[in-house]
Chain A
Amino acid sequence: MQKILRLPEAPAAGAAGPEVPLITQAELLADPARYRAGGARVGVRVAPSDRVEDLAPHLAHLALVAIEFPGPGEGRGYTYARLLRQRYAFSGEIRAVGPAVKQDLLFFMVRCGFDAFDLAPDQNLTEARQALGRFTLAYQPAVPRAAVREPRFTATR
């Protein structure tokens, strides 16, 4: 059973919901018009080897982007979330999915722009929620929905 943790301030996250159909990035790019028919909204799964910039023209029609974390050492998804939020200004849900979505990584994910977490089966929802508050400060600038007070280093924009 899915255990989805959402940030309290994540807007309209419930509207996206787990019931939104998820397709792969390859499926979307093969026939984007099909998934827009009748105003339908879908979510896209981004694999570590996908080129996230290819999603840019389609982001306005996506309810959510689900970024895969297939193993504990996989770190490309952090960059993808930052790019989606900051370079492409995606404001929909960015969800971390996959067997490596565990409490000890959530703080880093939040700082990169994730606002929903499809937790691995062995994870405890309460502990995961608490893990989001482990650090109250950070050095680096982050996405708009930062989980910390003002960071030390800031961006020009």
Chain B
Amino acid sequence: MYQYDSTDQALVDQRVAEFRDQTRRYLNGELSEDDFRPLRLRNGLYIQRFAPMLRIAIPYGLLSSTQLRMLASIARRYDRSYGHFTTRQNLQLNWPKLADVPDILADLATVQMHAIQTSGNCVRNVTSDHLAGVAADELEDPRPYCELLRQWSSFHPEFTYLPRKFKIAVSGAPADRAATEVHDIGLHLVRSAAGELGFEVLVGGGLGRAPMIGQVIREFLPMGDLLSYTEAILRVYNRYGRRDNIHKARIKFLVKSLGIATFREQVEAEWQASRDFDSQLTPAQIAHARSFFQPHPYATLANTDSLAAAGPEFKAWYRYNTRAHKVSGYRVVFVSLKPVGAAPGDMSADQMEAVAQLADEVSFGEIRATHNQNVVLADVRQTDLAKTWQELKRLGLATPNIGTLTDMIVCPGLDFCSLANAGTISVAHQLQRHFDDYDYLYDIGEIELKMSGCMNACGHHHVGHIGILGVDKHGEEWYQITIGGSARESSSLGHVIGPSVPQAEVAATVERILDVYRELRQEDERFIDTVRRVSATPFKERVYAKDLAAA
């Protein structure tokens, strides 16, 4: 993985010193609340309902065991001994003290980590495929380009006060595991007809109140132009994005109002006029970045039959919580952060330390955070799977539910967030308890349930196969349900299938949706494919018919 050089380290250290001084001035009364807000946001610090929340950057989701141990240590020392993994591969601490944050950032800097630009109207943490470098379908490892973008966007002087936040995701495989189509910029590594490696560039995707799917602005961008072309997009956005209405300020509204053709012309004109003075990537810089992401020193191993002598519990875990690795004899292991009774995405300090230890023993000391709020050990020998499973089971991290209904994405909701209209964690618990029968879950098969506590959509509900949105109805928490969304390749937005339901009815409503699916599916058709084939109409008619009958 990437290792800081003296420049990276000095910048992070200088940032810590700067924020320490800014925090001191705020606590002294020299900086007003209004002046401090954008400064603390650019260091990941929100003021939430009950306490500050600190969002720590995990660049493209990749952590060393040393870094995960430091996160455990920070969670224990400054917080309540746990952290929460987010849909953008970051880690949030829910209970730090404002006055401690400079010390937390200083601790992070000792392990080449930071919270730079994890919030605020600037370029955020660049996210990527959690199977980068190990997926068999990958054209090229996207992480070197993520790292180059991380550096280029850090403290970018021109783009630190954009109209609104700006999120970039990069994928190197045809299967989109990074939700690139719902990012402000989505980058797909592709080869030109001549065999040259470059990017397909999408722009204007995003969720929130007005979800939109990104559109192709450029079919092929040569690698060396990555930064200058991104700067051209950002410069057009910085100048012409709306600043008068926060709800219309994301780049997707500019792209929509101009139309992709006009927006493309403006970006091309800006690029042609500016590319000579914007950042250029040299072949040497690209090669240097790539040198940090070379394959691990894998042993030459044959694939083994891991299931031959295994019991049913291990078999279920193997089937749901592991994936193929491109190198024979290895397997990718998902660490489920979705056990029954937990807040999805939460991990205790003890678990972090134990997983760090496990990563050192079986997975080259690296850990990945996924945008589905789980953790991955990407390089486990098949012969180590049994002991890995035993250890994860001991830690409560082997719930065999990856890719199933209870592997849901859930934002923190009303329990923590000052924007939320409704609770999400209690609804997650309701769903976990209601759907606790594995035979049923496995029969339903691959499905993505995503839940947000408000229309800002941090839980990505628009792109859930089943999406749940918390709404406030006269002071009560109600939930609107959509079906048919997806953030994978050829993504789609979900359709509302009826009126919102009271909190107590969510699981029962989801079950009725699944009843319709079980009746209409053909052979082993997935839920999303059935919805796409039959449309949302049969679901609308039947899921709510019972409500009417009961009423």
Q: Do A and B come from one complex?
A: yes
In the bound complex, CA of A135 to CA of B276 (Å): 25
Residues of B within 8 A of A102 (CB): 35
B residues less than 8 Å from A75 (CB atoms): 121, 159-163, 238
> Across the interface, do B238 and A76 meet the contact criterion of CB distance under 8 Å?
yes
Known: A140-B157, A152-B151. A79 touches B278 (CB 8 A): no
Given A76-B238, A112-B157, the answer on whether A87 and B279 have CB atoms closer than 8 Å is no
Contact of B280 among A73, A82, A154 (CB under 8 A): A154
* Count of A-B residue pairs with CB < 8 Å: 108
A72–B34 contact, CB under 8 A? yes
B155 interface neighbour in A72, A78, A104, A139, Cβ under 8 Å: A139
Contacts of B160 in A (CB 8 A): 75, 78, 108
In the assembled complex, the CB of A35 is this many whole angstroms from the nearest CB of chain B, namely 26
What CA separation (Å) do A157 and B163 show in the bound complex?
Answer: 29
Q: Which residues of B contact A134 (CB under 8 A)?
A: 14, 17-18
CA distance A74 to B243 in the complex (A): 8
| A140:B156 contact, CB within 8 angstroms | yes
Interface residue tally for chain B (C-beta within 8 Å): 41
Task: State the CA gap A74–B11 with chains docked (Å).
Answer: 25
Residues of A with C-beta under 8 A to B157: 78, 107-112, 138, 140, 142
Does the CB pair B277–A72 fall under 8 Å?
A: no
Given contacts A153-B285, A154-B280, A155-B280, whether A135 and B11 have CB atoms under 8 Å apart is yes
B14→A135 contact, CB < 8 A: yes
Q: Which residues of A contact B161 (CB under 8 A)?
A: 72-75, 78, 108
Residues of B within 8 A of A109 (CB): 157
Residues of chain A lying within 8 A (CB to CB) of residue B158: 78-79, 82, 108, 112
B151 touches A139 (CB 8 A): yes
Asked, given contacts A108-B160, A139-B155, A152-B7, whether A73 binds B239 with beta carbons under 8 Å apart, the answer is no
Among B162, B243, B279, point to the contact of A154 (Cβ < 8 A).
B279
A110-B308 Cα distance, complex, nearest whole Å: 66
A residues in contact with B34, CB < 8 Å: 72
B235–A138 touching, CB < 8 Å: no
Number of interface residues, chain A, beta carbon within 8 A: 34
The reply on A126 being an interface residue by CB < 8 A is: no
Interface string of B130-173 (1 = CB under 8 A from A): 00000000000000000000011011111111110000000000
Q: Does B52 touch A at the CB level, under 8 Å?
A: no
Q: Is B258 an interface residue (CB 8 A)?
A: no
Query: Of all chain B residues, which has the CB nearest A72?
Result: B38
Interface centre among A72, A82, A153 (most CB of B within 10 A): A153
Give the CA-CA distance A157 to B277 in the complex, in Å: 6
Write the nearest CB–CB distance from A34 to chain B, whole angstroms: 29
The verdict on A157 contacting B276 (CB below 8 Å), with A73-B38, A73-B243, A139-B154 known, is yes
* Residue A98, interface by CB 8 Å: no
- Please, how many angstroms separate the alpha-carbon atoms of A79 and B161 in the complex? 10
Proximity string of chain A (22-60) to chain B, C-beta cutoff 8 Å, 1 when within and 0 when not? 000000000000000000000000001000000000000
> Least Cβ distance of B22 to chain A in Å?
6
| Least CB separation from A133: chain B residue | B14
Residue A2, interface by CB 8 Å = no
- The reply to whether the CB of B227 lies closer than 8 angstroms to some CB of chain A is yes
**Residue B274 at the chain A interface, CB threshold 8 Å:** yes
The docked-state distance in angstroms from the alpha carbon of A142 to that of B35 is 26
> Across the interface, which residues of A come within 8 angstroms of B27, CB to CB?
none
Are B238 and A141 closer than 8 Å at their CB atoms?
no
Chain A: minimal CB distance from B517 (Å): 46
B155 touches A138 (CB 8 A): yes
Considering only CB atoms, which chain A residue lies closest to B120 in the complex? Answer: A73
Return chain B residues, CB-CB under 8 Å to A79. Answer: 158, 235, 238-239
CB distance from B240 to the nearest CB of A (A): 9
- Chain A residues contacting B17 (CB-CB under 8 Å) are 134
Within 8 Å CB of B15, what residues of A? 135
Interface-centre pick from B10, B34, B239 (highest chain A CB count, 10 A): B239
In the assembled complex, B301 has its CB within 8 A of some CB on chain A: no
Q: CB-nearest residue of chain B relative to A79?
A: B238
A136 to B18, alpha carbons, bound, how many Å? Answer: 12
Which of chain B's residues 1-46 have a Cβ closer than 8 Å to chain A? Answer: 7, 10-11, 14-15, 17-18, 22, 34-35, 37-39
- B42 and chain A: residue at smallest CB distance: A104
CA distance in complex: A140, B280 (Å): 10
Interface string of B266-306 (1 = CB under 8 A from A): 00000001111111110001000000000000000000000
**Which residue of chain A is the closest to B148 with respect to CB atoms?**
A153
**Is A86 an interface residue when CB atoms closer than 8 A count as contact?**
yes
Partner of B227, one of A86, A135, A138, A153: A153
- For B151, give the chain A residue with the smallest CB separation: A139
Contact between B274 and A140, CB atoms less than 8 A apart: no
Q: Please tell me if A125 contacts chain B, counting CB pairs below 8 Å.
A: no
Whether B11 and A87, one on each chain, are in contact in the complex, defined by CB atoms closer than 8 angstroms, is: no
Is the beta-carbon distance between A155 and B162 smaller than 8 angstroms? Answer: no
Q: What are 26 residue pairs bridging A and B, where the CB atoms are less than 8 Å apart in the complex?
A: A72-B37, A73-B243, A74-B243, A75-B161, A75-B162, A76-B239, A79-B158, A109-B157, A110-B157, A112-B157, A134-B17, A134-B18, A136-B10, A136-B14, A138-B11, A138-B155, A139-B152, A139-B156, A152-B151, A152-B285, A153-B152, A153-B227, A153-B280, A154-B280, A156-B276, A156-B280
Q: A134-B17, A135-B155, A157-B276 are in contact. List 12 more A-B contacts (CB 8 A).
A: A48-B243, A72-B37, A74-B243, A75-B163, A76-B243, A78-B160, A78-B161, A104-B35, A135-B18, A136-B14, A137-B7, A139-B7
Cβ-closest 7 pairs across A and B: A75-B161, A111-B157, A153-B279, A157-B276, A108-B157, A86-B277, A78-B158
